[in-house]
Amino acid sequence: MHQLNNSKCVNIAILTISDTRNFEDDRSGQAIKSLFESKDHSIIEYKIAKDERPLIQAIVKEWTANSNIQAILLNGGTGFSPRDVTYEAVNELLSKKMDGFGELFRMLSYEEIGPKALFSRAVAGSIDTTAIYALPGSTNAVKLAVNKLILPTLPHFVEELVKL
- Predicted local distance difference test score (pLDDT) of residue 7: 56
For 117, the 3-state DSSP assignment is helix
pLDDT beyond 60 at 155: yes
Best CA proximity match to 141, nearest among 14, 28, 19, 39: 28
CB atoms within 10 A of CB 113: 16
- Domain ranges for the chain, please list them: 11-161
- Average pLDDT estimate for 124-148: 98
- Average pLDDT estimate for 74-85: 95
pLDDT beyond 70 at 104: yes
Does domain 11-161 fall under CATH 3.20.20.10? My reply is: no
Best CA proximity match to 131, nearest among 162, 157, 164, 163: 157
- Predicted local distance difference test score (pLDDT) of residue 4: 43
pLDDT beyond 80 at 55: yes
pLDDT beyond 60 at 159: yes
- Predicted local distance difference test score (pLDDT) of residue 164: 77
CB atoms within 10 A of CB 6: 11
Question: What is the distance between the alpha carbons of residues 53 and 24, in angstroms, rounded to a whole number?
Answer: 24
